[in-house]
Amino acid sequence: MKAGIFFTGSGPIVILTSYDSLTDSRLVEKLASKGIKKFIAYEVPVEMAKEKYGNTYNVIMGDLHQEDDLRVLDYDGHHVLLTFELCDLGAPVCYEPK
């Protein structure tokens, strides 16, 4: 499982995914089907996401209606920016279609 903060055209979201990378072609396709065609993403440790979101993390992971390969943990951009320190994020991963 990977966790990432994705900065999109409508603001940052936090995603949990079972794909090996934040730019895996299958993940990119799923994001594109939801209107996210390009993004800047930062991988965050899953343990950090668990710690910061607590029970919300457990609820999202236990929601049988979501797909196992992509779960949105937080779509409130304001909350995402309050939850994570930008200076703690690693190198960004940029994606845009060719």
Tokens found for residue 86: 């930008």
Say if residue 88's pLDDT is above 90. Answer: no
Predicted pLDDT of residue 66: 64
30: nearest Cα among 68, 77, 74: 68
Per the CB < 8 A criterion, the answer to whether 65 and 55 are in contact is no
Residues 89, 65: Cα–Cα separation, whole Å:
30
pLDDT in tens, 11-63: 999 999 999 999 999 999 999 999 999 999 999 999 999 999 999 999 988 87
Residues 66, 45: Cα–Cα separation, whole Å:
21
pTM (global) more than 0.85: yes
Burial class (CB in 10 A: 0-12, 13-18, 19+), 45: exposed
